[in-house]
Amino acid sequence: MNRRVLLTIAYHVPHNDALARVDPTAADAARSWLDYAGAWTAWNHVRALLSVAGAVVLAVAVRVGDRAAAVLPTPAG
């Protein structure tokens, strides 16, 4: 399982569930949102960076694989 999914399961899902339990008409609802939003946004940036890093690693692997295939001898059939 990749790190993005683990981060989502370990951090985002429990925090989203906690926010869903907040009564939007409660007096402290705005404070709950402000407390939630800052940390969630920071961890969402981490999740986005992990996604970009994964895409870069995949692109490099494909490129290296293409170069390796171009120089490797083909099996005699």
pTM: 0.63
pLDDT in tens, 1-16: 677 788 888 888 998 8
Delimit the domains of the chain by residue range. Answer: 3-22+29-71
Q: Is-contact 29 22, C-beta < 8 A?
A: yes
Instruction: Supply the pLDDT for residue 1.
Output: 62
Question: Burial, 21: exposed, middle or buried (Cβ in 10 Å; 0-12, 13-18, 19+)?
Answer: exposed
> Which residue is listed with tokens 């008409």?
25
Q: Is-contact 43 4, C-beta < 8 A?
A: no
**What value does the mean pLDDT take over residues 22-46?**
90
Q: How far apart are CA 22 and CA 38, in angstroms?
A: 16
